Amino acid sequence: MAIEYFDDEEAGEYGGAPSVEVKTYSEDGRGSLDELYTEYLRLADEHGWEMETVFCQRDDIEDGALILPVFSFRTKRHGPALWIVSGIHGDEPEGPMALVEVLDRIGALGNTIPMVVVPLYNPKGYRRNSDSQSRLQQNEDVLKEYVLRRSDTHPPQMTLNIHGDMSGIPLEKRIAAHRAVLQTLPELWKRAQQRGGTPPWREGKGTSVVTDVPRGGGLM
Ligand SMILES: [Zn+2]
């Protein structure tokens, strides 16, 4: 649905449903790209958020390529916003999957807090379980441009940049750790307001929260 496919002969002509099965690395039990996209799109379809494509990743496969969109969802409510960026590194599936588990909570939170959510920033890496380091620099530049462009309506006041470095721990537990952090968002946001957080380029007081949960941390 969200993934487009073209074969070599139609290269450059995006469109049509994929005619190939899109396989996602599954040895660690992660959800497929299709499953993730289907869930994320509910932020737009069921919670009324605005959706846009930040950019697309080309993922070459045999006899053709997949075009994988990187979606961003934002609330209709404008103002200093809570940003969530997840799935930058393809071998860290816990963030993208934890977001699925708390999707409806986040959707509801958007009724009171301006928010932007980029749930899966590196779908190609996720699909392949690789972080595609060489491509990431370019992608990070695209992200910076996007943040600046979107900051006219949703300037980031607090950013949750979800990573993970818990290889060796079952994915289910890693997801649970991030889910726990995500569930504290209303409280984290409230505290950021009390501190009078402002966008970092104005006064250097922006709040950045990275949900790298230390190995064996208290949330396990
Ligand atoms: Zn990471």
Length of the chain: 220
Residue 28 domain-assigned?
Answer: no
CB 29 within 8 A of CB 171: yes
Distance from Cα 7 to the centre of ligand 1, integer Å: 32
Residue 192 domain-assigned?
Answer: yes
Count of CB atoms situated within 10 Å of the CB of 138: 11
Residue 72 domain-assigned?
Answer: yes
User: Which residue segment(s) compose the domain that 157 sits in?
Assistant: 37-210
What lies within 8 Å, CB to CB, of 144 at 6+ separation is none
Residue keyed to tokens 């499953």: 35
Quote the tokens at residue 58. 């080309």
Residue 7 domain-assigned?
Answer: no
Distance from Cα 165 to the centre of ligand 1, integer Å: 7
Residue 21 domain-assigned?
Answer: no
Residue 201 domain-assigned?
Answer: yes
Domains identified in the chain, total number: 1
Q: How many Cα atoms are found within 13 Å in the side-chain-facing hemisphere of 212?
A: 8
Distance from Cα 147 to the centre of ligand 1, integer Å: 19
Residue 80 domain-assigned?
Answer: yes
Give DSSP secondary structure letters for 63-86.
TEEEEEEEEEEE-SS-SSEEEEEE
Distance from Cα 174 to the centre of ligand 1, integer Å: 13
Quote the tokens at residue 109. 């939170």
d(CA 139, CA 116): 18
pTM > 0.95: no
Distance from Cα 121 to the centre of ligand 1, integer Å: 11
Distance from Cα 161 to the centre of ligand 1, integer Å: 9
Distance from Cα 164 to the centre of ligand 1, integer Å: 6
Terminal CA-to-CA distance of the chain, rounded, Å? 35
Distance from Cα 15 to the centre of ligand 1, integer Å: 31
pLDDT at 128: 93
Residue keyed to tokens 């990187």: 70
Count of CB atoms situated within 10 Å of the CB of 201: 11
Distance from Cα 89 to the centre of ligand 1, integer Å: 5
Distance from Cα 88 to the centre of ligand 1, integer Å: 6
Taking each helix axis as running N to C, give the angle between helix 33-40 and helix 94-101, from 0 to 180 degrees, rounded to the nearest 10.
Answer: 40
> pLDDT by residue for the chain (220 residues), tens digit each?
567 766 555 544 444 445 567 899 999 999 999 999 999 999 999 999 999 999 999 888 887 888 899 999 999 999 989 999 999 889 899 999 999 999 999 999 999 999 999 999 999 999 999 865 555 666 778 888 999 999 999 998 888 888 886 668 899 999 998 898 899 999 888 877 776 654 443 333 344 455 444 433 333 2
Residue 148 domain-assigned?
Answer: yes
Distance from Cα 200 to the centre of ligand 1, integer Å: 22
